[in-house]
Structure 1
């Protein structure tokens, strides 16, 4: 998330605003999170500015960086806290917008890049407010958390709003899949979502005990599999995601075999490099392994699935670290706001199609070089 902090005046709590430009400043017109009305914005002088002081405005945030302000466009949506923190929640010129619904998750994956917070917060109402303010139909949208389905009714409300407002959008739901083991809930999710919806669900091993150890929650493997099967019964597109860690890198071939023999119907299988942030950074010694050390295991798993005509991809791994046999499977998958390249990548011929590395990670893979 793109964020900055300045000095707030006249603001209370959490406010959601839509950016407009005028008078040489970035004006944010809109409503607080508690009152949603996407039309007829008042002309109150709400501004974001880099100036140290600006006496004429009624409420706003000063002392923001020019870089942050220049990154904002007409129609972007931001949250503004009374402590001066401004978070960009929606970028009109981006195909990578995401609705974050909750901090809570009913799994506790040891390599989760989310920061583990002591206080659980839910953002379903914030998501509804964002959707009220968005005017133009985006091509893509992602729903995430935590576990976005944690509060089922609120989750379904957000889905329904997306479907009604953007019926033709390509929607991706990042979920651990466990709540979809309840067939009635899975059916309601499908009926409430746009036709072009993809459920991205992680399976970290074909061994239930190892999967449950990685997610730190007993019974998770069985629930996730039942969830996947229910979604398949409902004719949904499903992506299986496998984050590669020290815990499971030797098991990649077994995972590939398990998927082929039990879930050959999935839309895509994605093997993913790790983002060492949040819980992953806290458990670094337990989960981190250099990509060069697991490349032969990855190649075996990917080629096994590809040879059997399954759709397989590699996410979050720089092009230069992959063997020649794997390069065509790589996707530039890291979101633009947290993608970066090393100095050595400056003149690389593959930079335009490379995932780069996570700017949020505390560990950068060894062996990155220019091609």
Structure 2
């Protein structure tokens, strides 16, 4: 499966995020061409300050225009490279976009699209989103923060990239199962 980033339903927003004029149109044409050749396609959306405001409209766009893609991956930030260098411009605390994430996942799921949440922690996700959350971080890159100590949900949790030590959600707290 080929993972292709689509960051917004509006060309100028997508183009701004990738810093390339015309990228949105080229990306959509590329997805259409790949699917016409029978290639499996995953649309990847990195959740950050510029993409979250368009997340729900993007979900509607995908349902209307790209219903035939094989998978949608909604991905938390990995704080490396350009992301780390531009952290102050792109950071949004995941607890602050749970409403948008929940609505977007609902739109995609109700339309029958396969959707997953990557690079996110169970304790900040609404319980209704847990079934979409995946342990997608490679074991050698996955870590847990001190706030995770004693958490009963680590086996299901996506954990953190090692690079997350620079910044992570204020909502991190252990999930304790009642015996």
Q: What TM-score bracket applies, with the shorter chain setting the length?
A: over 0.9
How far apart are residue 314 of structure 1 and its match? Answer: 0.3
Q: What are the equivalent positions in structure 2 for 1:1-371 lying under 5 Å apart?
A: 198-361=1-164, 362-371=166-175
How far apart are residue 352 of structure 1 and its match? Answer: 1.0
**Residues in 2 aligned to 1:331 and 1:262: alpha-carbon distance in whole angstroms:** 25
**Residues in 1 aligned to 2:106 and 2:18: alpha-carbon distance in whole angstroms:** 27
Query: 2:53 is paired with a residue of what secondary structure?
Result: helix
Instruction: Report Cα offsets for 1:45-101 as digits up to 9, x if no partner.
Output: xxxxxxxxxxxxxxxxxxxxxxxxxxxxxxxxxxxxxxxxxxxxxxxxxxxxxxxxx
Instruction: Report Cα offsets for 1:180-237 as digits up to 9, x if no partner.
Output: xxxxxxxxxxxxxxxxxx0000000010000000000111111111111011001111
Query: 1:364 is paired with a residue of what secondary structure?
Result: coil
How far apart are residue 343 of structure 1 and its match? Answer: 2.3
**Residues in 1 aligned to 2:170 and 2:139: alpha-carbon distance in whole angstroms:** 22
**Residues in 2 aligned to 1:363 and 1:334: alpha-carbon distance in whole angstroms:** 17
**Residue number in structure 2 paired with 1:120:** none
- Structure 2 length-normalised TM: 0.94
- Structure 1 length-normalised TM: 0.46
The structure with higher relative contact order (CA 8 Å, sep 6+) is 2
How far apart are residue 337 of structure 1 and its match? Answer: 1.4
Query: 1:314 is paired with a residue of what secondary structure?
Result: strand
Query: 2:120 is paired with a residue of what secondary structure?
Result: coil
How far apart are residue 347 of structure 1 and its match? Answer: 2.1
Instruction: Report Cα offsets for 1:295-314 as digits up to 9, x if no partner.
Output: 10111100011111111110
User: Gaps spanning 5+ residues in structure 2: where?
Assistant: none
**Residue number in structure 2 paired with 1:7:** none
How far apart are residue 344 of structure 1 and its match? Answer: 2.7
How far apart are residue 241 of structure 1 and its match? Answer: 0.5
Instruction: Report Cα offsets for 1:6-35 as digits up to 9, x if no partner.
Output: xxxxxxxxxxxxxxxxxxxxxxxxxxxxxx
